[in-house]
Structure 1
Amino acid sequence: MTPNRSTGFTPFFLVYGAKAVLPSDLDHGAPRVRAFDQDRATEAQQDVVDLLEEACETAVIRSARYQQTLHRYHERKIRRRTLEVGDLILRRTQSTKDKHKLSSPWEGPYTVAEVIRPGAYRLKDDNGNVLTNTWNIKQLRRFFP
């Protein structure tokens, strides 16, 4: 019943091409229900079918504009994170075994040994051993000693 922010139309209208009539409208005699006339309804239905295609195109355009606006907002607010070889980082712990709720979710520090591609890194521990797994930037955090 509520118009969608991105399309400007209700989902019911986009599916059925008409406004929904609620049971409460029927029970309380809403003006729209009282003004219903079968003869005019048939003509109005044909007009609505003609306008439905235009409404769908309008909804698609509004939705695309809304998505572009969200994308621009997201790009403005997001900060890219990059790590370089030699940076000290912490990685998210993989196992919660023997941990309690006050345990740190991070372990390390580790050193970035290799940049596989932007966002994927190979790590090296304190002993200089390179870890076999690659790590995504979402699982890493820069460490400041």
Structure 2
Amino acid sequence: MMYEYEGGWSIHLLDALWAYRTLPRSATGFSPYSLVYGSDAISPMEITIPTPRVSVVNDLEWDAKSCLDWRLLDLEAVDERRMEAERKMALYHKTVAQAYNRTVKPQAFKQGDLVLKVVEHMRRQMSGPSKFASQWEGPFAVKEVHSSGYYRLISVKEGMLTDPINGKWLKPYYC
């Protein structure tokens, strides 16, 4: 269910940005905040209602030297976190690529094959004339095959040459 939102977005913008910057990403396992500053952010709620990690820090006696030492330890750990995030991101990209490659079935057409092509509004991801409109047009015959995956088609009915089209927008036509 959707509701009309009338103004006031600027009030919630800072909260949304805080959440976006402090939540861990699925690709890296780290939040952008922790990758930049070397430690996890302490939320305002943790200060109001102290959590164990905030309580431990509050109980310590802080002087300039100990603060500097803790900060240096955090900064030294940043490089390790960033390398770990880079490794996790590479693994994430590999997983996504494998999932994509499992679903995509590359097709190679040769000259003279009959094909259908996706209608223009579908390729441009625009709304069509109606939800019942056909998503494919044709048949077309493959006139030229290019090594880069593009094809030149000729309309079977009208005999007109079409603009080059990527093979991912084509599917075989069976009479």
Instruction: Give the structure-1-normalised TM-score.
Output: 0.81
CA distance in 2, matches of 1:87, 1:34: 72
Correspondence list, 1:1-145, <5 A: 1-36=22-57, 37=60, 38-39=62-63, 40-94=66-120, 99-126=129-156, 129-145=159-175
Moved over 4 A (4+): none
Q: CA deviation at 1:101?
A: 2.8
Higher mean alpha-carbon deviation, 5-14 vs 98-107, is at: 98-107
Higher mean alpha-carbon deviation, 127-136 vs 50-59, is at: 127-136
Q: CA deviation at 1:99?
A: 4.2
Superposed CA RMSD in Å reads 2.5
Percent same amino acid at aligned positions? 30
Structure 1: stretches of 5+ with no match in the other structure: none
Contact 2:118 2:135 in 1 (8 A): yes
Q: Which structure carries more strand by proportion?
A: 1
Contact 1:17 1:49 in 2 (8 A): yes
Residues 64 and 118 (structure 1 numbering): CA distance in 2 closer, same or farther, change over 3 Å? same
Total equivalences in the alignment: 144
Structure 2: stretches of 5+ with no match in the other structure: 1-21
